[in-house]
Amino acid sequence: MGPAVASEAYGAFAYAYDKALGERFFRAARRLLDETLERFPTPKRTHLDLACGTGLALETFCARGWRSIGIDASLAMLQVAHARVPRVAAGDLRALPLRSKFARITCMYDSLNHMLDANDLIAAFRSVRALMSDDSLFLFDMNHPDIYPEVWGISDPFIARGKDYYLEIATSYRSREKTGRANVTGWAELGGKRVPIREQHRQRAYTEREIVKALDEAGMTPADVIDFDPYGEADSIEARTVKLFFVCAPKLERRALSPSNPRSNPTG
């Protein structure tokens, strides 16, 4: 497969992902972000969205008057995001191509679970910490480890379809390696042409303790950890919750930012 064909195929995946999963997830995530920004207000309006994907978080922040920029490793995802917001750039989470400080940094849709090695997760956190001032906050979600055997380990694939796309995601989970694999197939119509989709993605399960330890090594600490169930799945599976949403600050700000309710459980 040549570069042009590969780019077109991933563009089709980006479009179908946005319609099938991205918009649905972000309806719940937007409420959680709004609540968190209200609980931890700041007069500064600078925002960085990491693994920004198709730009849904960027669009929301920009609409509220924030000066936002998005970073993603996928040029196809950035093309979709750029149609929503003007400021996006390609980059690796472990070595971000920026020097500015940001008041709020976000990384949504379990993007950090794609770090398959704990050292890569720590590197990503250190890269984020370098862009934080003393009063900055880092907001991100990661999958609760219970969902991997419960959701990724099921035999039936996830299927989503629309008038101009079809997406099928077959998942598997290896408990010994704590890694999940997703085989994505389908198609999307781009420019009047049906473009096939064939992707493979991998994730690693991390416990809350492992995430907090990685944050600590990077110089950050949670001000809050919120149980987050964006799809209303927790009642139908044997898992305590679906995702963990972290509100993190530089270590020195821990006391000043501790909320009155240290652990919340919003409905998705």
The secondary structure of residue 105, as a DSSP letter, is: E
Q: List the domain boundaries for the chain.
A: 3-145+206-257, 149-202
Question: CB-based burial of residue 71 (10 Å sphere; 0-12 exposed, 13-18 middle, 19+ buried)?
Answer: buried
* CATH match for 3-145+206-257 among 3.30.1390.10, 3.40.47.10, 3.40.50.150, 3.40.50.300: 3.40.50.150
Confidence grade of residue 233 (pLDDT, cut at 50, 70, 90)? low
**What residues contact 4, with CB distance under 8 A and at least 6 apart?**
none
**Does the pTM of the predicted model rise above 0.85?**
yes
CA atoms within 13 A on the CB side of 154: 10
Write the CATH number of the domain with boundaries 149-202: 2.20.25
84-135 residue pLDDT tens? 899 999 999 999 999 899 999 999 999 999 999 999 999 999 999 999 999 9
Written as six digits, the tokens of 211 are: 């995430």
Confidence grade of residue 28 (pLDDT, cut at 50, 70, 90)? confident
Cα–Cα nearest to 190, from 11, 64, 5: 11
Confidence grade of residue 140 (pLDDT, cut at 50, 70, 90)? very high
Q: Do domains 3-145+206-257 and 149-202 have the same CATH topology?
A: no
Tell me: pLDDT of 29 over 80.
Answer: yes
User: What is the separation, in whole angstroms, between the first and last Cα of the chain?
Assistant: 40
Report the side by side order of strands in the sheet with 220-228: 88-90, 67-72, 46-50, 102-107, 132-143, 243-250, 220-228
CA 34 to CA 234: how far, in whole Å? 22
Tell me: pLDDT of 167 over 80.
Answer: yes
CA 239 to CA 191: how far, in whole Å? 42
